[in-house]
């Protein structure tokens, strides 16, 4: 399939799938911007109504811990495309990839300090180096390692949750609320205080990301890398039976796991059972992510799905620029950089903000890529990767590697 505005050598399904993943990630991240209580272990007492709980539950069931896994799979897949590009250019792979990951690390550090404490780019930059070191593993060895990463990580969280429950240790609700309110006040303050607050939270956030998301992201890197070596997404119709199996198996296992995770994480916070729910999610979310990806890929090859893919693909092609732009807009809306709306927007309204923002990014991405070869951040990252300035204006038929 060829999406609108893409070069012929690109895999349109990869770009469209990345665009869909970008939207799912935004629907989760906007909640972290909109409320200092997100991830604090207690609910926001300001928004404690039925609609508020329903909106949070919907995000937990459908989006949390799912779409970043899909994005991670695509990151691993894209590494194989980078390897092919290096081979076509006759350049050493190692130098290109080290420069690319270093550039991603710098962008991630700036993003985390200035825009969003929940930055995942720094983790991707470091894990990308691990994937590079593992690139010579056989497909079967890579998939076994991925399964071990998910299985061991899930077992650890299940065990920790049960230990907390048995020990009777409970979260101090009053302390958690006080800490969230303090953070909320800092995020509403002057820009310099916003930066200080964000930087102060980075160590704990990175520790959380490394403990929870990094093992699963690495696992999906490996699965995506294997899929890329097998060129699984170059001809989706040829692999339709596989995607149908993934859709059914992933849904049958992943949906109950997502429902259980949402129930435990929303209703039994601080009891240890919420950590058990996290373990369940770690174990089942990769399968639900596979079901999501399979449903989208199969849908992209229908008449109406091709239209959707045509809109998603440009946004996915410049996903890094769009991801950074999402953080910038949300920072302007919710922090002292701009309107300081943190704690003043309901969970449902926050979801509406995310939907509106992404709806605007779709035509803007399409417009941009009709004129330019890359998104702004992608252009900079490519310059670092190839160690020279790439073309800026679009030249029809010229190569653009994603």
CA 156 to chain centre: 23
The token duo for 297 is: 């890929």
In this structure, the number of other CB atoms found within 10 A of the CB of residue 56 comes to 24
**Tell me, what's the pLDDT at 174?**
82
Nearest to 291 by CA among 20, 10, 15: 20
**Tell me, what's the pLDDT at 94?**
87
With residues binned 3-state (H G I as helix, E B as strand, rest as coil), the percentages for the chain, rounded to 5, are 75, 0, 25
Whole-angstrom distance, CA of residue 343 vs CA of residue 322: 24
Largest CA distance in the chain: 64
Whole-angstrom distance, CA of residue 335 vs CA of residue 191: 8
Tens digit of each residue's pLDDT, the chain (402 residues): 444 333 445 789 999 999 999 999 999 999 999 999 988 777 788 898 999 999 999 999 999 999 999 999 999 999 999 888 888 888 888 888 999 999 999 999 999 999 998 888 999 999 999 999 999 999 999 999 999 999 999 999 999 999 988 888 777 778 888 888 999 999 999 999 999 999 988 888 888 888 888 999 999 999 999 999 999 999 999 999 999 999 999 999 999 999 999 999 888 887 888 999 999 999 999 999 999 999 999 999 999 999 999 999 999 999 999 999 999 999 999 999 999 999 999 999 999 999 999 999 999 999 999 999 999 999 999 999 888 888 887 765 444 444
CA angle 305, 309, 310 (to 5 degrees): 115
Whole-angstrom distance, CA of residue 162 vs CA of residue 166: 6
CB 314 within 8 A of CB 5: yes
Q: How far is CA 29 from CA 39, 114, 186, 393, in A?
A: 11, 15, 19, 32
Whole-angstrom distance, CA of residue 294 vs CA of residue 287: 10
**Tell me, what's the pLDDT at 208?**
84
Whole-angstrom distance, CA of residue 70 vs CA of residue 57: 20
CB 367 within 8 A of CB 315: no
The token duo for 245 is: 């199996």
**Tell me, what's the pLDDT at 396?**
55
Nearest to 106 by CA among 130, 77, 126, 127: 126
The token duo for 58 is: 């919907």
Contacts with 120 (C-beta within 8 Å, 6 or more apart), sequence order: 68, 108, 209, 213, 217
**Tell me, what's the pLDDT at 270?**
78
**Tell me, what's the pLDDT at 397?**
47
């Amino acid at each position: 399939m060829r999406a609108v505005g893409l070069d012929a050598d690109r895999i349109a399904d990869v770009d469209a799938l990345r665009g869909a993943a970008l939207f799912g990630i935004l629907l989760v991240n906007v909640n972290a911007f909109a409320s200092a209580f997100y991830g604090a272990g207690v609910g926001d007492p300001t928004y404690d109504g039925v609609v508020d709980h329903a909106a949070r539950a919907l995000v937990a069931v459908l989006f949390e811990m799912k779409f970043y896994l899909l994005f991670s799979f695509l990151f691993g897949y894209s590494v194989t495309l980078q390897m092919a590009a290096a081979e076509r250019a006759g350049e050493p792979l190692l130098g290109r990839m080290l420069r690319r990951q270093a550039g991603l690390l710098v962008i991630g550090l700036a993003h985390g300090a200035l825009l969003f404490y929940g930055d995942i780019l720094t983790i991707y930059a470091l894990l990308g180096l691990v994937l590079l070191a593992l690139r010579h593993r056989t497909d079967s060895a890579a998939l076994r390692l991925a399964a071990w990463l998910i299985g061991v990580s899930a077992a650890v969280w299940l065990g920790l949750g049960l230990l907390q429950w048995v020990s009777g240790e409970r979260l101090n609700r009053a302390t958690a609320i006080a800490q969230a309110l303090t953070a909320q006040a800092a995020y509403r303050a002057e820009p310099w205080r916003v930066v200080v607050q964000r930087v102060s939270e980075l160590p704990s956030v990175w520790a959380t990301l490394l403990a929870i998301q990094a093992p699963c992201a690495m696992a999906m890197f490996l699965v995506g890398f294997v899929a890329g070596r097998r060129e699984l997404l170059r001809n989706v119709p040829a692999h339709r039976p596989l995607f149908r199996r993934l859709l059914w198996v992933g849904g049958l296992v992943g949906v109950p796991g997502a429902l259980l995770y949402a129930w435990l994480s929303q209703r039994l916070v601080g009891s240890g059972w919420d950590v058990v729910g996290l373990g369940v999610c770690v174990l089942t979310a990769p399968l639900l992510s596979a079901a999501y990806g399979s449903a989208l890929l199969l849908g992209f090859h229908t008449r109406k799905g091709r239209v959707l893919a045509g809109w998603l693909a440009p946004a996915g092609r410049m996903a890094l620029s769009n991801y950074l732009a999402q953080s910038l807009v949300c920072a302007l809306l919710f922090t002292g950089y701009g309107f300081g709306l943190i704690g003043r927007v309901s969970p449902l309204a926050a979801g509406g903000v995310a939907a509106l923002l992404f709806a605007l990014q779709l035509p803007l991405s399409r417009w941009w890529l009709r004129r330019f070869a890359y998104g702004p951040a992608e252009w900079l990252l490519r310059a670092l990767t190839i160690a020279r300035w790439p073309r800026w204006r679009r030249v029809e038929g010229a190569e653009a590697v994603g």
